[in-house]
Structures are given as C-alpha cells and as structure tokens.
C-alpha cells in the first residue's frame, strides 16, 4: 500500500505566478488535510477536505489560496499570484476517517523568487 504521495517535491515560482501542489492520499482514504510549515516555525492547519467537499478551511488565507479534492484524482492546493511570503513546505495528510490517524506525505517545498 503506497503512502501519501505529493508532487512536485520542489517547486520554484516567480512572484505573480501560480503554484499547483498535488496530493494523492493513501488507498482507501477519503479525508485530506493540508498544512503549511514556514521556515523555523511549526505546522499550521490550512484546510480539511473530504471527497468533493471542503469541510473546514478556517486556516486558509482568504485570498489567492484554494483547495479541491475531486471525485477522481488527487487533491490540489492552488496558490495564485505567489509572493515571497508563500515560500514554505506544504504537507498533506490523509486519513481513513474524520479525526482519524493522519498519514503525511513528504511535502512540497515551494520557493518564490
């Protein structure tokens, strides 16, 4: 059973470009969380999704950030018009149930130049 997959592992974007981060949950998991880890800071919750539904997006910045988890395919975290402050490691985690044990992917390290 493959673990949580994230791609790309490293992403470089210029200011103003769009960043798309992908997360494929573990097989059988229909719950996905996204977190952001800024340099030298802890993990911060961004959003929790179930298939086709955003359940809790209280940690997402109001502008430029969006997330989806379609019926088919990976979950996507999209950042429009990136700024230098968006440079961070973005992790997703999947779970077999709501508030269940979370399994993390290796993360996507976004660098905005």
Partner 1 sequence: KQEVTQIPAALSVPEGENLVLNCSFTDSAIYNLQWFRQDPGKGLTSLLLIQSSQREQTSGRLNASLDKSSGRSTLYIAASQPGDSATYLCAVPTSGTYKYIFGTGTRLKVLA
Among 28, 58, 63, 85, binds partner 1 (CB under 8 A): 58
Q: Under a CB-based contact definition with an 8 Å cutoff, are residues 110 and 22 in contact?
A: no
Whole-angstrom Cα distance, residue 26 to residue 6?
11
Number of residues that bind partner 1 (CB under 8 A): 25
Binding of partner 1 by 2 (CB under 8 A): no
Determine which helix (DSSP H) or strand (DSSP E) holds 36, and give its type and residue range: strand 31-37
x-marked contacts with partner 1 along 94-113 as a string, rule CB under 8 A: ----xxxxxxxxxx------
Among 13, 33, 67, 110, binds partner 1 (CB under 8 A): 33
Would you report the helix, strand and coil content of the chain in percent, each value rounded to 5?
Answer: 5, 50, 50
Our CB check for partner 1 shows the closer of 71 and 99 to be 99
Our CB check for partner 1 shows the closer of 47 and 112 to be 47
How would you class 51 by CB atoms within 10 Å of its CB: exposed for 0-12, middle for 13-18, buried for 19 or more? middle
Q: Which residues bind partner 1 (CB under 8 A)?
A: 4, 33, 35, 41-45, 48, 55-56, 58-59, 91, 93, 98-107
């Amino acid at each position: 059973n493959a673990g949580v997959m994230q791609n790309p592992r490293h992403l470089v974007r210029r200011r103003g470009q769009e960043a798309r981060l992908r997360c494929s949950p573990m097989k059988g998991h229909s719950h996905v969380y996204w977190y952001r880890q800024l340099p030298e800071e802890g993990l911060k919750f961004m959003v929790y999704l179930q298939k086709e539904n955003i359940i809790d997006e209280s940690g997402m910045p109001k502008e430029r950030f969006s997330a989806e988890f379609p019926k088919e395919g990976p979950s996507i975290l999209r950042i429009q018009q990136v700024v230098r402050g968006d440079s961070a490691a973005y992790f997703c985690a999947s779970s077999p149930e709501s508030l269940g044990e979370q399994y993390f992917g290796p993360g996507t390290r976004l660098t905005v130049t």
